[in-house]
Amino acid sequence: MNDLLRQFMEKVSRRNNGEPEFLQAVTEVAESLIPFISEHPIYRDNKVLERVVEPERVIMFRVPWINDKGEVEVNRGFRIQMNSAIGPYKGGLRFHPSVNLSVLKFLAFEQVFKNSLTGLPMGGGKGGSDFDPKGRSDNEVMKFCQSFMTELYRHVGADIDIPAGDIGVGKREIGYLFGQYKRIKGEFSGVLTGKGFEWGCSLIRPEATGYGLVYFVEEILKIRGETIQGKRVTISGSGNVAQYAAEKCIAKGAKVVTMSDSDGFIYEPDGLDLERLQFLKELKEVRRGRISEYAAHFKCDYFKGERPWRIKCDIALPNATQNEVDGKDAKSLIENGCFCVAEGANMPCTPEAVAAFNKAQVSYAPGKAANAGGVAVSGLEMSQNSVRFSWSRDEVDNKLRDIMKQIHRICVKYGKEEDGHINYEKGANIGGFVKIAEAMLAQGVV
């Protein structure tokens, strides 16, 4: 670590003591940006990075609600309004027991760069709660969402802050949140994205993160003179991102050999087909079951309590959660011949894993670039809601593909090393930063 980076991180660490995920995300960005900022003194003199790491606003609130047994439960709600230099705050809501201030600040920080990379006018934010929807009845989820929105409504709005889904927040939760917002405010507006198709969702929004991830991988492979057809792909997760990444991989002729949930992973040596994937989607979305039930149904291998990174593959797509690929996992991926790792999840690779990938010249694409397709189509949903109009499936899909290509071009522009290796992490960090920094300079010290 050079001196400037050390001094910078010491200050950030002092102020954000006890927030390991946030500090991890800031360190990773600062490593790319501090050398760049040293060459551009206007950013240094105006303390742009120092301002970018400080949320514009952090909202924390009590969420009391009554469960099916008539008991009072209390959760904690959050909204981090990180940066609005290039547009209203935009970013998902996560409902998971692991949610805390550090996790949401890291996600909000990453979101600022990601949204900038899409080229759309969206600032960055993130929110959520330590509420766990797993095992809860629909009625309990509704009660919780109504209480959550009863506080959050005063901080959000179609031109202020537009939340969406994330882990534990899908169409059902967005529906309950939207219903309560509409009821309190008496207005039907585009305050949330990822809605139901009948009431404002953009076509392709559910698919967007997973599809966009595969479009990004195709751009990486193009540079390497390869295509995705016939490649072995390991995927973690079996939620929204994982399902649609798998769907697009299969449609393009790749072999998806693993999928997982927080209990373990399934291994299909010949690859899942669309029929099996459909079973998995229904299992997860409708029956809210466990991936072990897939293994029992199809009699395939199931590895309880394990992650899929020791399985031989060409491409790895970590699509579950943060820090799910560590240095040891990276070593086994590299030893098994994996040459491309693209993050569908946010920050799934630890710093040790990222360093190992870059050292081995594995094409490593960070989430802020590779999974930006979701928020990009959320941005397109906002535009459609504003003009009360909908684009066709093909129109949205084409725009998504163009945006992913554009993000890839930005990564190459700022991330190409002297030896020709593309450091996508550096490219995404610098490319995302420049647009925000210019807007912040233009808007004065605010």
**Binding residues vs ligand NDP (CB under 6 A):** 165-168, 209, 237-242, 261-263, 319-321, 324, 344-346, 371, 374
- Taking the complex as a whole, the smallest distance from the CB of residue 434 to ligand NDP amounts, in Å, to 22
Catalytic amino acids?
126
Q: Are 158 and 127 in contact (CB under 8 A)?
A: no
Q: 31 vs 381, which CB is nearer to ligand NDP?
A: 381
What is the β-pairing status of strands 363-365 and 340-342? parallel
β-sheet bridge partners, residue 341: 316, 364
Distance CA 291, CA 303 (A): 10
- Residue the block writes with tokens 């102020």: 15
Phi, psi dihedrals of residue 62, rounded to the nearest 5°: -85, 135
Helix, strand, coil share (%) of the chain residues, nearest 5: 50, 15, 35
- Taking the complex as a whole, the smallest distance from the CB of residue 102 to ligand NDP amounts, in Å, to 14
- Taking the complex as a whole, the smallest distance from the CB of residue 41 to ligand NDP amounts, in Å, to 34
Phi, psi dihedrals of residue 127, rounded to the nearest 5°: -160, -175
Q: 88 vs 318, which CB is nearer to ligand NDP?
A: 318
Type of residue at 163: P
DSSP secondary structure, 275-316, as one string: HHHHHHHHHHHTS---HHHHHHHHT-EEEET--GGGS--SEE
- Taking the complex as a whole, the smallest distance from the CB of residue 93 to ligand NDP amounts, in Å, to 10
- Taking the complex as a whole, the smallest distance from the CB of residue 325 to ligand NDP amounts, in Å, to 11
Tokens read off for 431? 């490319």
Cβ count near 240 (within 10 Å): 26
Distance CA 409, CA 296 (A): 44
Type of residue at 130: D
How far CA 147 is from CA of 10, 164, 285, in Å, comes to 39, 17, 24
Q: 53 vs 93, which CB is nearer to ligand NDP?
A: 93
Q: Cα angle vertex 157, ends 149, 103, to 5°?
A: 60
Q: 334 vs 372, which CB is nearer to ligand NDP?
A: 372
- Taking the complex as a whole, the smallest distance from the CB of residue 40 to ligand NDP amounts, in Å, to 29
Q: Are 59 and 81 in contact (CB under 8 A)?
A: yes
Q: 325 vs 436, which CB is nearer to ligand NDP?
A: 325
Q: Is 253 helix (H, G, I), strand (E, B) or coil?
A: coil
Question: Residue with the closest Cβ to ligand NDP?
Answer: 239
Cβ burial 129-147 (10 Å sphere, 16+ → b, else e):
bbbebeebeeebbbbbbbb
- Taking the complex as a whole, the smallest distance from the CB of residue 212 to ligand NDP amounts, in Å, to 9
Using the 8-state DSSP alphabet, how is residue 160 labeled? Answer: T
Q: 30 vs 376, which CB is nearer to ligand NDP?
A: 376
Q: 313 vs 377, which CB is nearer to ligand NDP?
A: 377
